[in-house]
Structure 1
């Protein structure tokens, strides 16, 4: 049996604003489904072979995302997903030009990768990593 990453799902309150945010990272909208009664919209955004699945419910409920990254990591369940880049410093500068400000400085993680985080319009953490490890 062989498995490959396929998608991560997020529930959001403002789907259009969230789509525009992720398009700045190179995601493209590939699927949009809308319930007849407008109670739900599902959008698939694709980046290479990875899909970000967005759900937007008319009666969306607030989640338990903490404002501070370290405190958020203490909760069970989904905490963030990461996008890998070749040059972290260059990407950080380009994102700032697009109005996306990292919430922390570039760090070297305990597992040997360099990283920083941003937040999407819904407050979800998105990690940007430079991983040159050889396994």
Structure 2
């Protein structure tokens, strides 16, 4: 009788777990991302698309290929926060531009920032637990914002921005 009761209890717990909707394990699930559009070019075997999809909880809305076969891509979004990734067959790695140089020397944008309603201290701790390169939080009193620096797997720098509370 005791074993039957334990088995019935375990079955009820299992059935309840099946009925529950699993939320993705994502630090940005409940954070509002203000409208932004970011586009990246990377090599054809890059995992950058999956990193952005999983890190920001994005949904794929379009996959595409150039007619000449040189590039494929993916367009993803969460609300009006949009990320587009171009996977090029002939993409150069940053290190190939000039061996020994660092990204701060290269032409082009240094980083991309976007606004959120996030508590950056909490967000940083969550991202670090997931082995995401979340660095310093800079308090910019001139702009009235705090900026959390995040570096994606290919070295692109993102600033997640939160306005100071008034």
TM-score (ref. length: structure 2): 0.62
Match of 1:101 among 120, 127, 133: 133
Unaligned runs of 5+ in 1: none
* Cα shift readout 1:73-116 (whole Å, capped 9, x = no counterpart): x76532222232421111111111211022x3212024221112
- Larger Rg, first or second structure (1 or 2): 2
Work out the number of aligned pairs and report it. 124
Bigger relative contact order, structure 1 or 2 (CA pairs below 8 A, ≥6 apart): 1
Structure 1 runs (4+) greater than 3 angstroms displaced: 35-38, 62-67, 74-77
Q: Map residues 53-72 of structure 1 onto 2, 5 A cutoff.
A: 53-63=84-94, 66-67=102-103, 72=104
RMSD: 2.6
Cα distance in 1 for partners of 2:108, 2:55 equals 26
Partner of residue 11, structure 1: 41
Greater helix fraction, Structure 1 or Structure 2? 2
Cα distance in 2 for partners of 1:17, 1:128 equals 21
TM-score (ref. length: structure 1): 0.74
Q: Map residues 34-73 of structure 1 onto 2, 5 A cutoff.
A: 34-35=65-66, 38-63=69-94, 66-67=102-103, 72=104
Unaligned runs of 5+ in 2: 1-34
CA contact (8 A) 2:61 2:75 kept: yes
Partner of residue 156, structure 2: 124
Cα distance in 1 for partners of 2:43, 2:121 equals 31
